[in-house]
Amino acid sequence: MNHSNSNRLRLTGKLIKGSRHYVLQCEDETMWRLNFQDLDMPEENKDVIIEGFKTGIDAVDVDWVGPKHAR
């Protein structure tokens, strides 16, 4: 599930390392370019939750990232 409050976003999806940036592929097939700010990087190809600020049409400055736990 994806949530937003103004420019603040909370997104879930699969973390993928692209050719130039990390991207998040959400379950609805939307893609977000991620800008990490001195964060420990989780393993790629893992399901994660990210929080941050929307900085473009499809870009997020990430200030928190964590694993998506199965329910």
Domain count for the chain = 1
CA gap 17, 1 in Å, rounded = 21
pTM higher than 0.85 for the full model?
Answer: no
Domain, as residue range, for 18: 3-67
Q: What is the pLDDT of residues 59-70, one digit of tens each?
A: 999 999 988 876
High-pLDDT (> 90) share of the chain, %: 55
Q: What is the pLDDT of residues 27-51, one digit of tens each?
A: 999 999 999 877 777 677 789 999 9
Question: Residue 26 is part of a domain; what is its CATH number?
Answer: 2.40.50.500
Using a 10 angstrom Cβ sphere, with 0-12 exposed, 13-18 middle and 19 or more buried, the burial of residue 33 is: middle
Which of 47, 8, 14 shows the shortest CA–CA distance to 32?
14
The pLDDT value given to residue 60: 96
The pLDDT value given to residue 71: 56
Q: Is the pLDDT of residue 21 over 70?
A: yes
